Amino acid sequence: MSSIEPYRRKYAFAEDYGTSQYKFGPLAEKPDVIENRGFVISEDTIIYKIVGITKRIIVGPEVSQYLGSREDMAKYLIYPMKDGIVEKDNKRAWEIVYEITKYGLLKFVPKGDPKFNGFYVTAALSAIAPKYMYEKIFEIHEKIDEEHGVVKAVTIIPQPLAVAIAQKTITCIVVESGHGNTQITPISRYPIRGGIISLNRGGAEANAITAEILKDNGYGDLIPEERLVRMVKESIGLIPRDLDKAIKAARDDKEKYRAVFKVPGTTISIDLGENSWMRFLIGEIVFNPEHEIFESYYKRGMPRPRDTIIGDEKIPGTITIGEAIARSASRTPLELQPHLYKKIILSGGNFAWKVPPGFENTACNAAEKVTIQLADLGLNAQVELTKDPEFSVWKGAIVYSLAVPDDYEWSWDRLEGWYKLH
């Protein structure tokens, strides 16, 4: 009979290191969330001199208080992760990761509990995080523990495994799509690392096409505000069942498909008018950046998703999600593949697309889109969204923290187990 000791229940802790957000916390319905970024205070700034700030890097909600001009944002506001990866020799970026991690752990340190001897921390990283990232994350936790005594043991799991755990599915393919990248991981009790496929695209591509659309419609002055672009994307973006048919429908019934977005708390209103058919490009680019309609945007300078090399195979950056899933499954044992197709799980904020009422004939959600793409390849698959796309990674990591036994020690061969600090 398996069991969870009370200490573990109280002090299991999970961390989801996403490209744009850091989600963290002990066992709960959902985690705390802060932006995965830091504001670096230069000693030259007046703020530093007048206020006499002692810390060099600000993280968490406090960051917005330090944002001044757009030039300050560009220079001092740093997002340490790109496509789920922190550059090995980027000292500043790792300092920010350290500060963010410390912020998260110290926020939940129990006060006045003499039994507290540190959290069991499970950190979730990209499926393709290189070994040095594992080493750095362990070092960071070790340092925080030396300074504050808040980490008993730490482990790292790939984000897709965490999703499978949160979805209570032991055999599946997890498609995890965040801001910077999309990872396709077959899982059967363990991640099947040989089948992992990573695509260098995610929500950022949808943001990029949204920015182009805003520029084309006379709202170019708004595009430096990334948060605003993201809000527009989430508000008006749609996934088409079939892009060409959806564009025709939108052109034929302009009023029905008209895209209007009023920025909350401001007088700014965005109206695409006759170009409202462009809202379908926002969803399509996530699943099919190969469509010929995007060629003119690439020629104009919008970045084309980069190819990935896995072993000796080149995966085109613009491959459809459906084809990428099929390629991933083909790298697993033949008799396992039908089981994998029975459960394809889509996770990550990049799959959180809604279908407004009345648009069901032209628009669809992410699961339906992937099902359509796989059916076009002759594959009958069951595709579902995570019940909670935003927090499924964190949830899976919490289960891992709760359940894995204390004596299962870290192994660099398996890339699993507890790295014990005390």
Partner 1 sequence: MVTREVIVSKLKEYFLERGFEFLLPEELKAEKLIAEFDLFFRDGNNVIAVKAYTPRDFLASQIRKELELIAVDILKCREYFDKVYVAVPESLGLIKIPREVFESAGIGIIKVGEERVEEKLPARALGIRKALAYEEYAQKINLIRSELSNLAEKMGENVLELKNEVKFLRQELEQLRKSLKILENEIRILKRKQTDDIKKPLQIAEKSEEISIEKMEGYPDFISDNPWVSLLAKRGREDEA
Smaller CB separation from partner 1, 30 or 245: 30
Structure tokens at 305: 């998703």
Report the nearest approach of partner 1 to the CB of residue 187 (Å).
10
CB atoms within 10 A of CB 84: 24
Structure tokens at 156: 């790292």
Report the nearest approach of partner 1 to the CB of residue 29 (Å).
5
When asked if residue 404 is in the footprint of partner 1 (CB under 8 A), the reply is yes
Report the nearest approach of partner 1 to the CB of residue 47 (Å).
39
Among 91, 115, 227, 299, binds partner 1 (CB under 8 A): 115
**Residue at 2: amino acid letter:** S
Q: Find, among 280, 275, 271, 264, the residue nearest to 231 by Cα.
A: 264
Smaller CB separation from partner 1, 4 or 67: 4
Report the nearest approach of partner 1 to the CB of residue 139 (Å).
10
- Residues of span 384-403 touching partner 1 by CB under 8 A: 388, 395-396, 398-400, 402-403
When asked if residue 3 is in the footprint of partner 1 (CB under 8 A), the reply is yes
Backbone torsions φ then ψ of 163, nearest 5 degrees: -65, -45
When asked if residue 413 is in the footprint of partner 1 (CB under 8 A), the reply is no
- Residues of span 316-375 touching partner 1 by CB under 8 A: none
Backbone torsions φ then ψ of 241, nearest 5 degrees: -65, -45
When asked if residue 33 is in the footprint of partner 1 (CB under 8 A), the reply is no
Q: Which long-range contacts (CB under 8 A, 24 or more apart) does 244-251 make?
A: 245/362, 246/277, 246/280, 246/362, 246/363, 247/277, 247/280, 249/361, 249/362, 250/276, 250/277, 250/279, 250/280, 250/362, 251/277
d(CA 46, CA 64): 17
When asked if residue 44 is in the footprint of partner 1 (CB under 8 A), the reply is no
When asked if residue 422 is in the footprint of partner 1 (CB under 8 A), the reply is yes
- Residues of span 164-193 touching partner 1 by CB under 8 A: 164-166, 168, 170, 189
Q: What is the chain's length? A: 422
CB atoms within 10 A of CB 402: 16
Smaller CB separation from partner 1, 248 or 387: 387
Which listed range, 27-35, 80-88, 198-206, 234-242, lies at the site for partner 1 (CB under 8 A)? 27-35
- Whether residue 363 contacts residue 241, with contact meaning beta carbons closer than 8 Å, is answered with yes
Interaction site with partner 1 (CB under 8 A): 1-7, 9, 27-29, 115, 117, 164-166, 168, 170, 189, 388, 395-396, 398-400, 402-405, 407-409, 416-417, 420-422
